Structure 1
Amino acid sequence: MNAITHAIPRVFKSLLATGLMMSMSWTIQAGLTADEIVAQVDAVDKGNTSRSQMQMILIDDKDRQRTRDLLSTTKMMGPEDNQDEYKLIFFTAPSNVKDTGFLTYDYTGDKEDDQWLYLPALGKSKRIPAADKTSAFMGSDFTYADMTERNINDYTYKLMQEKEVAGHMTWLLEATPKSQKVIDNTGYTKSYMFIRQDNFMVVQALHLMPDNYRKYMTVRELEQIDGIWVATDVEMKTTLGKVRQHTTILKLSDVQFNQPVSDETFTLRQLEKGL
């Protein structure tokens, strides 16, 4: 669910990033419990399909930058009250990662999500095993686990305080995994999230990891496209203690919702065929 996966734009989970209409007044939200806030975040309109161009900027500990371009397509499938999210991402530049593909079946409920990575040099796709899902996705600060939404029932939530962030009132929520399995599958021992009160978007998050590693997520730009809120500029920073180790900036452009997308787009055959 988007609250746990730090409001990555919806193409990442979304990575990749949706919300309710701005016309909802704050008074409607007053008095909500932590669980009710999380349920609202999880229930927002995501659109039936989406397409977007993405730019991924990788910044190492010496401030050296690398840029990668991506194309993402998503589609919700299944019954309206129990939909799975299918996602296909291709790297389009630079040449050393061009045509690399990533396919995800993000299932609703407790079923383990399916993920495959296609590497052109090998000429075939590789399934991502559960044990590898806390690994970095293509050298970024996002993991394979970050590429899918989390089951909101895997966590307990606590409403910590209300605070103004970038001119908007937010709730600060603490999310604690209910089991060691959840920690093992995600790599996070606890998360703190700032959720805007006017649209239920997560705009900042802190994720705690073992050995004093931390990840800080900041939504730097938020836009409403076709009535859907989208984080079009997101920064994810990894630190060891207070020392920055690496940063990833993800920028979205040409975002389109609810355009026709064939189910056949999300197959291993299409992943290996490429664009």
Structure 2
Amino acid sequence: MNKLLTITLGVALSTSVFAGNQAREVMEKVDARDDGDNMISTMQMTLIDKKGKKRSRQLRTYSKDIDTNTEHKTIFFLSPSDVKNTAFLTYDYSGDDKDDDQWMYLPALKKTKRIPASDKDAAFMGSDFSYSDMTDKELDDYTFKLLKESTIKRKDGNKAVWVIESLPVNQAVIDETGYTRSILYVRKDNYVLTRAKFYLKKGKRIKYMDVRKLEQIDGIWVAMQTTMTTKQGKQTLHKTVLTNSDVEINKPIDDDMFSVRRIEKGL
């Protein structure tokens, strides 16, 4: 083989390996970032259709670390009347092969529905977030590659970020999440995933996630406003805005808050 070609290939391969290792290290720090042992918040979910028509929903959210590998989350819908008393429960497992558990209580039917893995790529309550988006991702389900370093504009100044490509390791991960590829923008100063592009397996669509407002509360970085926009080409099909308020960090929460019986009972 031509010596110059050999050297060129060697540099390219070593650079690729380095980029992959660095990207994985960044994502491990994202995963390990302190997000508190538990959190309570009030959330407004605004749904915006392609014509700009808005619908708003009020939610109350609870999350708690049960142990180092398990987090429980409960969401109660407070208004409007057509979704009032609907509730969602997640058992988010990490570090093992156990699938996350999810349940949705539907008051109109007085029935709790378990969300199967085959449905986790579906829209969560008509939003641009999926059921899969409601849980943390397992790092071992993906390979990561550092594409570049860049900056993004924010009201408090430009923020340096790593731009990382995330690829599912197999078809099962694609089928569960609905994403064939993701581009992740991670802030260098705090390891917060602040922007992302998710390529959907259906319809040649892309979802754009953007943390528009980020605050530090009791030493914990909290996304106070997040948007998720679904586009096909340049056309916006739908948009969801999540706005947090009344955030409480590390306030005691009874384990009873995270049970099927509780979501059926309501707040």
Assess same fold via TM > 0.5: yes
Deviation at 1:124, TM superposition (A): 2.0
In structure 1, how many angstroms separate the alpha carbons of the residues matched to 2:219 and 2:37?
A: 13
Deviation at 1:187, TM superposition (A): 0.2
| Residue type of the alignment partner of 2:174 | I
Pick the aligned partner of 1:35 from 8, 14, 24.
24
Residue 122 of structure 1 is matched in structure 2 by 109
Pick the aligned partner of 2:72 from 77, 86, 105.
86
Deviation at 1:175, TM superposition (A): 0.3
Contact 1:110 1:151 in 2 (8 A): no
Question: Which runs of structure 2 are paired with 1:1-275 in the superposition (5 Å)?
Answer: 33-78=22-67, 82-108=68-94, 109-166=96-153, 167-210=158-201, 211-275=203-267
**Which protein is bigger by CA-based radius of gyration?**
2
The runs of 4+ residues in structure 1 deviating greater than 4 Å are: none
CA deviations over 1:3-39 (Å, ceiling 9, x no partner): xxxxxxxxxxxxxxxxxxxxxxxxxxxxx81111000
| Residue type of the alignment partner of 2:257 | T
CA deviations over 1:175-215 (Å, ceiling 9, x no partner): 01110000001000000011100000111100011231100
Contact 1:203 1:219 in 2 (8 A): yes
- Unaligned 5+ segments in structure 2 are 1-20
Larger RCO (alpha carbons 8 Å, 6+ apart): 1
In structure 2, how many angstroms separate the alpha carbons of the residues matched to 1:37 and 1:130?
A: 28
- Unaligned 5+ segments in structure 1 are 1-31
In structure 1, how many angstroms separate the alpha carbons of the residues matched to 2:97 and 2:216?
A: 31
TM-score normalised over the length of structure 1: 0.86
In structure 2, how many angstroms separate the alpha carbons of the residues matched to 1:267 and 1:135?
A: 23
Contact 1:137 1:144 in 2 (8 A): yes
- Aligned CA RMSD, in angstroms, stands at 0.9
Contact 1:46 1:228 in 2 (8 A): yes
Q: What is the percentage of aligned positions where both structures have the same residue? A: 50
Deviation at 1:110, TM superposition (A): 2.0
| Residue type of the alignment partner of 1:38 | M
CA deviations over 1:73-117 (Å, ceiling 9, x no partner): 011012xxx330100100001111011000000011221010000
